[in-house]
Structure 1
Amino acid sequence: MNYFEFYHIPESFLPDEKAIKRRYYELSREYHPDFYANEDLGTQQKILEMSTLNTNAYRTLSDADLRMQYILKEHGLLEEGGKNEIPGDFLMEMMEINEELMELEFDFDADKLREIGEKSTGVMAQLENDVLPVLQRYPELHGVTKEEALQEVKTYYLKKKYLLRIQETLSKFATRS
């Protein structure tokens, strides 16, 4: 079952967080296994499944990255080992940063590390700034189809994942200095 439908909220990248939490607690009470201890095994199993569904829905919908990944997967846009292509210009920019990181392996320079960190933080901020209007308007879009918006979000998601790997490498360097 679709998590948004299960929670009776519209599909959105920026849903009402309070509504998600409120629905989670309502369903937690409704499907709490302790209330069904005297029921038959079939009913107990169904309640346990609903309780698990509620927990998984809450974990996914209350986390912005997991929610984005979920929506993209629901629309068939994230494929394992498939057409998850990142634009070439972005990859070139990231290749430059990766080369700078490799140079730090051989010749560590704290100033260079800080410079690379600032550069990656700036790229991340720009990505977030660029995609925010799409996230805010989705799915009520004007002048853009839902498919185009989802593609834009997918590109953002893939770029962000790439940048997060770079930032993880940067934090490893930072612990060494």
Structure 2
Amino acid sequence: MNYFEFYELPLQFHPDLNVVKSKFYAFSKKFHPDFYANESEEKQQEVLDLSTLNNKAYQTLSNPAKLLKYVLELKGVVQTDEHYQLPQTFLMEMMDVNEALMDMEFEPDASKLLTVQAEVDAIEEKLFGELKNLTDLFDQTGGNENTLLAIKDLFYRQKYLNRIRERLPKG
């Protein structure tokens, strides 16, 4: 059973977070292991499994990054350990950022760091806007394969940018 089915929600990139939270709290009470202490081992294990499912469902559906990956996996568009080939245009754009980061490893430069951070922020903001538009379209129309493939591409671009952000010097 997937998390959307568990919470009786339609498969969406933007589920109603109030419903997610209320389902989580309701199931947390319903499947609390303490209420089943006198039951059989099988029943206790079943409740523990449902409690675990509830926690994982909430953690995934309430976290936009986890949710994005989860929906793409459910739709069969993204596989674990997939080696996705990013578009050359994006990689060329990122080459300048990577070169600047390598330069700063040898010669720290506060003004150059601010420039690179601003560039990464701008790219990230543009990707977020495109992703929001496409995921909203999917939620409204049920999406199609082209929409899902475009979302997948933006998902991998975001992952790439996250790795660059981790390399940015702090301060």
Q: TM-score range by the shorter chain?
A: over 0.9
- Cα distance in 1, alignment partners of residues 85 and 35 from structure 2: 48
Partner in structure 1 of residue 164 of structure 2: 166
Provide, for residues 20-72 of structure 1, a one-character-per-residue CA deviation record: whole Å limited to 9, x for no partner. Answer: 00000111111111111111111011000000000000000000000001011
Partner in structure 1 of residue 9 of structure 2: 9
- The answer as to whether partners of 2:14 and 2:139 remain within 8 angstroms in 1 is no
Aligned length: 171
Identity of aligned residues (%): 38
Judging changes above 3 Å, is the alpha-carbon distance between structure 1 residues 102 and 65 closer, same or farther for their aligned structure 2 residues?
Answer: same
TM-score, normalization by structure 2: 0.94
Structure 2's unaligned 5+ residue stretches are none
TM-score, normalization by structure 1: 0.91
Structure 1's unaligned 5+ residue stretches are none
Q: Would you identify which runs of 4 or more consecutive aligned residues in structure 1 move more than 6 Å?
A: none
1:78 Cα offset (Å):
1.8
Letter in 2 for 1:152: A
- Cα distance in 1, alignment partners of residues 82 and 126 from structure 2: 26
Alignment of 1:19-30 (within 5 A): 19-30=19-30
State the SS of the aligned residue for 1:138.
helix
- Cα distance in 1, alignment partners of residues 65 and 12 from structure 2: 12
Provide, for residues 53-112 of structure 1, a one-character-per-residue CA deviation record: whole Å limited to 9, x for no partner. Answer: 000000000000000010111122222343422111111111111011101111221111
- Cα distance in 2, alignment partners of residues 116 and 10 from structure 1: 40
Matched, 1:121 2:129: no
- Cα distance in 2, alignment partners of residues 50 and 35 from structure 1: 13
CA RMSD of aligned residues (A): 1.4
- Cα distance in 2, alignment partners of residues 54 and 80 from structure 1: 22
